[in-house]
Amino acid sequence: MFGLGMPELIIILVIILIIFGVGKLPQIGAGLGQAIKSFKKATNETEIDVTPQKEEKEKQELESSVKTESAAKSEKQRV
């Protein structure tokens, strides 16, 4: 696991205990667990639409005007 053995993990745990204290460890663990849970939930979502509605409406209007113009040109060419 990333080149860390049991002795290294124990040393890291002791340093964390010294820095944060025993009372803060459950809060840190709960916060870390919630962060991992929300990250997994976000990665499992199929698609997130970040396009503002205004730009989407303008795009649809532009596409419809282009279709109308191309239809008018094709009718002129027929005549």
Model confidence over 19-78: pLDDT tens digits?
A: 888 888 889 889 989 999 998 888 876 666 666 666 667 777 777 777 676 666 666 666
Q: What is the sign of the dihedral through the CA atoms of 55, 61, 65 and 67?
A: positive
Residue with the larger pLDDT of the pair 8 and 62: 8
CA 52, distance to chain mean position in Å, is: 16
Q: Show the DSSP H helices in the chain as ranges.
A: 6-20, 25-44, 53-78
Q: Are 20 and 28 in contact (CB under 8 A)?
A: yes
Q: What CA–CA distances, in Å, run from 20 to 4, 31, 32? A: 22, 14, 14
